[in-house]
Amino acid sequence: MILRTVVQLVAAYLITTGSAFAQTIGQPLNPWQDGQVEIHFIHTGRGNCAFYVMPDGTTFLQDAGEQDPTDPRTLSLRNTPLVPDYTKRPYEWIADYIRQYMPAGRTPEIDHALVTHYHDDHYGHVYQGAPYDSSGRYFKTGITGLGSELPIRHLMDRGTTYPLPFGKDELKKRFASGTYPEEFATLQNYWTFVDDQVRRNKLKHEVFAVGRTDQIAMLRNPTKYPTFRIQNFYSNGDVWTGQGVKHIFPDFSNEQANVRRPGTAVPGMAMPGENQVSCGFKLTYGPFSFFTCTDISGMAELGLPDWYNVESKVAPYVGQVDVITTNHHANTDAMNVDYLRALRPRVIIQEVWSSDHPGHDALRRMTSRWVYPEDRDLFATNMLEANKIVIGPGLEKAYKAFEGHIVVRVEAGGERYWVYALNHRSRQREVMKIVGPYTPKANVTANQTGRSR
């Protein structure tokens, strides 16, 4: 009788904890199953990349960063190394990862892709020695390299009209006047790639439109999962309020076009940089919610204008969510109190490539129970030793995982989710750690702590 009771209790435990605990540590992640949502933060050491699998198996890629390998800083101790090794370029490792974790039975391809903004750690960089595509029309780096490895069916970006037009005609004028920033070479390469893919492979190319829920949508069996949705939330100063689109920036149309502010693809002394116009979206599935706004900033300090603080203007419309990514890698200018207090995330994912990710002040805000009292767990893709030394024990206490490809897996229906850390130093990408299950906020009546092993 006692033995039977023990067996029943063990069986009940396995049922309630779900498939995550059938996962063997030291083995690759179990395959995606119909109805699950997966968010893979793929770490190459050269920038951001996230690969999403929707409940019906539709795939979505957010960014494919590749920094300049000829820049001395890229190979310095300030930056994360290329992982798992140097035998492939970053876009090749991204493609290799996607092939491994593509839904079973599907040809490896990307149904939707989004370039959130035009920075090298998000879409690539044209550098001396970058390989040409087989067509000879463009260089392979970041998203253009990935597109030569795997078919991309639908590609979105923030467009070329904000804060001032910077399309091909404008680039020609600025090149002729001697004001041709290095970033424009990568932009031109990206546009050449887009034109080539539209012509040869019938790529659908669109501008990311704030307010829409049909741009990043399920394609295979959407009616089976009516509670899943991706809401386009922010880009180019436009934020979705739940009722309509609100513009949060002043009018920049009278700014001088040929004056360049550092960090901008678009010239302009008093205009937003690429980070402030990054694309962001909210994913919901049943009670589960996830929000990312890429590289927006939240600290208008050192004389910067108020519009530099994008976080405080976006946060009230987002509401509380379960999982977020850190804005701007949790740099010192991001993750402000307004933002954290409004979103109150249970899980915070940080994509790292620099020794100042996170900034010490940003970490203090993210971990402070004065900001919000609920529990929260932090996960980083590759925390550098320099940051561990400088910040010290506060860093050690805050994070559940310091390195790896970080994967959020949501069970069918969205009632629970887990976070995994996969070995980014191995080509097999074995599971190193599992944390969960977590219960989404919509189903939580008290603070809950995720289990780890």
Provide, rounded to the nearest whole percent, the portion of the chain with pLDDT above 90: 75
Give the pLDDT of residue 317.
97
Q: Which of 128-137, 170-179, 202-211, 337-346 has the lowest mean pLDDT?
A: 170-179
* Cβ burial 91-129 (10 Å sphere, 16+ → b, else e): bbbbbbbbebbbbeeeebebbbbbbbbbbbbbbbbbbee
Strands, sheet with 37-41, edge to edge from the N-terminal-most edge strand: 204-207, 154-157, 112-114, 59-62, 50-53, 37-41, 405-410, 417-422, 431-438
Q: Using CA atoms, how far apart are residues 120 and 91, in angstroms rounded to an integer?
A: 12
For the CA atoms of the chain, what is the radius of gyration?
22
- Mean of pLDDT over the chain: 89
Domains of the chain in start order, with CATH, are: 33-443 (3.60.15.10)
pLDDT of 17 over the 80 cut: no
252: pLDDT confidence band, cut at 50, 70 and 90? confident
Half-sphere exposure of 83 (CA within 13 A, CB side): 22
For 403-450, strand residue ranges (E) read 405-410, 417-422, 431-438
Token pair 């509380």 is at which residue? Answer: 320
Average pLDDT over residues 47-63: 99
CA angle 264, 266, 271 (to 5 degrees): 75
The percent of residues above 70 in pLDDT, for the chain, comes to: 86
Residue 9's pLDDT is 42
pLDDT band of residue 112 (cuts 50, 70, 90) is very high
Place of tokens 């993210």: 366
Nearest to 102 by CA among 63, 61, 142, 154: 61
Q: Specify the pairing of strand 238-240 against strand 228-235.
A: antiparallel
d(CA 353, CA 359): 13
Look at residue 297 and give its three-state secondary structure. coil
Q: Are 266 and 163 in contact (CB under 8 A)?
A: yes
**What span, in angstroms and rounded, lies between the C-alpha atoms of 278 and 326?**
13
Which residues make Cβ contacts (< 8 Å) with residue 251, sequence separation at least 6?
Answer: none
Average of pLDDT values for 126-133?
A: 94
Query: Quick one: pLDDT at residue 173?
Result: 63
Looking at residue 66, what is its pLDDT?
Answer: 97
Over residues 23-34, the pLDDT tens digits come to: 899 999 999 999
